[in-house]
């Protein structure tokens, strides 16, 4: 057995999913090593069960949890630690892990924690940008990783299957593969489509024969309630953990909505998706392949990555009529044909 390799990716949902190609690369490049991952507890179930991962170290967002984890990691005596996050806490964990060699992104204030450093983003000819999963692969390959592609993959535990059935039944969804998941909210306000616009899309989808399942995260209940009021007839997914969410998404026919973690989860599970982009850039965040369509604002300031904006007219400027037409066309072309589409349901 070779030396153990530690990978660190604390959060968030989409970023954890997009790190999985780099985790595979680490295992391919260090086939005799035990590849182990530190992530926040809520995401651990997505990585447990992946064949390349020997162990997941779950972490809570407390100082005591961080210190306890560091003590455990030091006893493990890792040969290599790779920080795929690069925030102060992950850099501290990497530096204090006791690993003989440490790698991470070359960012101010954290680069001192690593012997091997790579740029956070590769230099590309504007306006092109690097896909997020590729950035993680660059870092993995800098320490001996061997890529097998940029396809993200996650694990769905068997125990989650029955829970997904219960959640869908309680939502009133009889045939999950015939329905479209809608993610109306985003982690940033600036990349969230106006609720009224999302509600128009929901009504258009239902009028076209697609049941709509609204999917939300913690703190997004107000958004869900507004969509429910403006689009009567939508189903609402009850609150659930990330593992159950993955099991639910794997069952549905397609997922549309904000550039978000659930969308990356859907892509990793082979579910067709469609998203709208304003301040975030599709080069960085749109999953590759024809299954994953998008529409973006044509404003010159698009792709600014601002979480706050003094004018914020990029997302409101994406009309619900044009987005709905594009979404319906995408579902007709790429929705899971066994269940989606008016012709299939006739």
What is the pLDDT, as a whole number, of residue 2?
A: 67
Specify the pLDDT at position 123.
82
pLDDT, tens digit, 9 for 90 and up, residues 159-189 = 899 999 999 999 999 999 999 999 999 888 9
pLDDT reported for residue 124: 82
Over 70: is that where the pLDDT of 154 sits?
A: yes
Measuring CA to CA, which residue among 74, 80, 81 is closest to residue 9?
81
Which residues, other chains included, contact 86 with Cβ-Cβ below 8 Å and sequence gap of 6+? Answer: 104, 105, 107, 110, 120
pLDDT at 25: 98
Compute the half-sphere exposure of residue 120: CA atoms within 13 Å on the CB side of its CA: 9
Cβ partners under 8 Å of residue 177, min gap 6: 251, 252, 253, 336, 338, 339, 340
- The first and second tokens of residue 257, run together, are 């909505």
239's tokens: 């609150």
Alpha carbon distance 217, 53 (integer Å): 27
Q: Which pLDDT score, from 0 to 100, does residue 336 have?
A: 67
What are residue 101's DSSP bridge partners? Answer: 80
pLDDT of residue 1: 40
Instruction: Read off the pLDDT of residues 211-241 as tens digits, 9 standing for 90 and up.
Output: 999 999 888 989 999 999 999 999 999 999 9
Please state the rounded mean pLDDT for residues 331-335.
90
Distance CA 210, CA 70 (A): 49
pLDDT digits (tens, 9 = 90+) for 312-325: 999 999 999 999 99
pLDDT in tens, 240-282: 999 999 999 999 999 999 999 999 999 999 999 999 999 999 9
Please name which of 339, 261, 306, 196 lies closest in space to residue 9, comparing C-alpha atoms. Answer: 261
Query: pLDDT at position 337, please?
Result: 46
Give pLDDT tens digits for 2-33: 689 999 999 999 999 999 999 999 999 999 99
Domains and CATH numbers, the chain: 5-142 (3.40.50.2000), 159-345 (3.40.50.2000)
CB atoms within 10 A of CB 71: 10
Percentage of the residues of the chain whose pLDDT score is greater than 70 = 96
Mean pLDDT, range 57-75, rounded to an integer: 97
Residue 344: its pLDDT value, please?
A: 47
Mean pLDDT of the chain: 94
pTM: 0.94
Q: What's residue 340's pLDDT?
A: 57
- Listed as own residue / partner, the contacts of 225-232 with beta carbons closer than 8 Å and 24 or more positions apart are 226/195, 226/199, 227/182, 227/184, 227/195, 227/198, 227/199, 227/202, 230/195, 230/196, 230/199, 230/202, 231/199, 231/200, 231/202, 231/203, 231/206
Secondary-structure breakdown of the chain: helix, strand, coil percentages, each rounded to the nearest 5: 40, 15, 45
d(C-alpha 123, C-alpha 259), whole Å: 23
Does the pLDDT value for residue 343 go beyond 50?
A: no
pLDDT of residue 41: 97
3-state secondary structure of 94: helix
Local confidence band at 341 (pLDDT 50, 70, 90 cut-offs) = low
Give CA separation, 66 vs 74, 99, 176, 223, in Å. 12, 16, 39, 33
Please, which residues have CB within 8 angstroms of residue 6's CB and are 6 or more apart in sequence? 36, 37, 38, 73, 76, 78, 80, 81, 82, 94, 97, 99
pLDDT at 333: 93
Q: What is the pLDDT of residue 88?
A: 96
**How crowded is residue 245: how many other Cβ atoms within 10 Å of its Cβ?**
27
What is the torsion angle, in degrees rounded to the nearest 10, for the CA atoms of residue 87, residue 88, residue 92 and residue 93? -40
């Amino acid at each position: 057995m070779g030396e153990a390799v530690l990978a660190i990716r604390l959060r968030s949902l989409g970023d954890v999913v997009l790190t999985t190609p780099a985790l595979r690369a680490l295992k391919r490049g260090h086939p005799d090593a035990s590849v182990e991952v530190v992530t926040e507890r809520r995401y651990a179930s997505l990585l447990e069960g992946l064949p390349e991962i020997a162990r997941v170290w779950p972490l809570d967002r407390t100082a005591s949890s961080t210190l306890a984890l560091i003590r455990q990691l030091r006893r493990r005596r890792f040969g290599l630690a790779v920080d795929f996050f690069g925030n102060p806490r992950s850099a501290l964990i990497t530096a204090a892990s006791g690993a003989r060699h440490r790698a991470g992104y070359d960012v101010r204030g954290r680069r001192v924690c690593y012997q091997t450093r790579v740029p956070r983003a590769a230099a590309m000819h504007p306006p092109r940008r690097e896909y997020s999963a590729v950035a993680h692969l660059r870092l993995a390959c800098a320490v001996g990783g061997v890529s097998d592609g940029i396809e993200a993959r996650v694990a769905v535990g068997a125990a989650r299957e029955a829970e997904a059935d219960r959640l869908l039944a309680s939502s009133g969804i009889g045939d999950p593969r015939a329905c479209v998941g809608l993610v109306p909210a985003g982690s940033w306000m600036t990349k969230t489509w106006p609720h009224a616009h999302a509600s128009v899309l929901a009504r258009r989808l239902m009028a076209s024969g697609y049941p709509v399942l609204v999917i939300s995260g913690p703190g997004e209940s107000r958004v869900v309630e507004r969509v429910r009021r403006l689009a009567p007839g939508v189903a609402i997914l009850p609150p659930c953990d990330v593992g159950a969410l993955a099991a639910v998404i794997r069952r549905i026919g397609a997922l549309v909505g904000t550039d978000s973690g659930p969308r990356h989860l859907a892509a990793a599970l082979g579910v067709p998706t469609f998203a709208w982009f304003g301040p975030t850039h599709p080069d960085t965040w749109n999953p590759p392949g024809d299954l994953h369509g998008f529409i973006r604002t044509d404003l010159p300031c698009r792709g600014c990555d601002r979480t706050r904006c003094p004018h914020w007219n990029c997302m409101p400027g994406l009309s619900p009529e044009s987005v709905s037409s594009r979404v319906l066309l995408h579902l007709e072309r790429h929705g899971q044909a066994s269940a989606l589409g008016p012709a299939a349901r006739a």
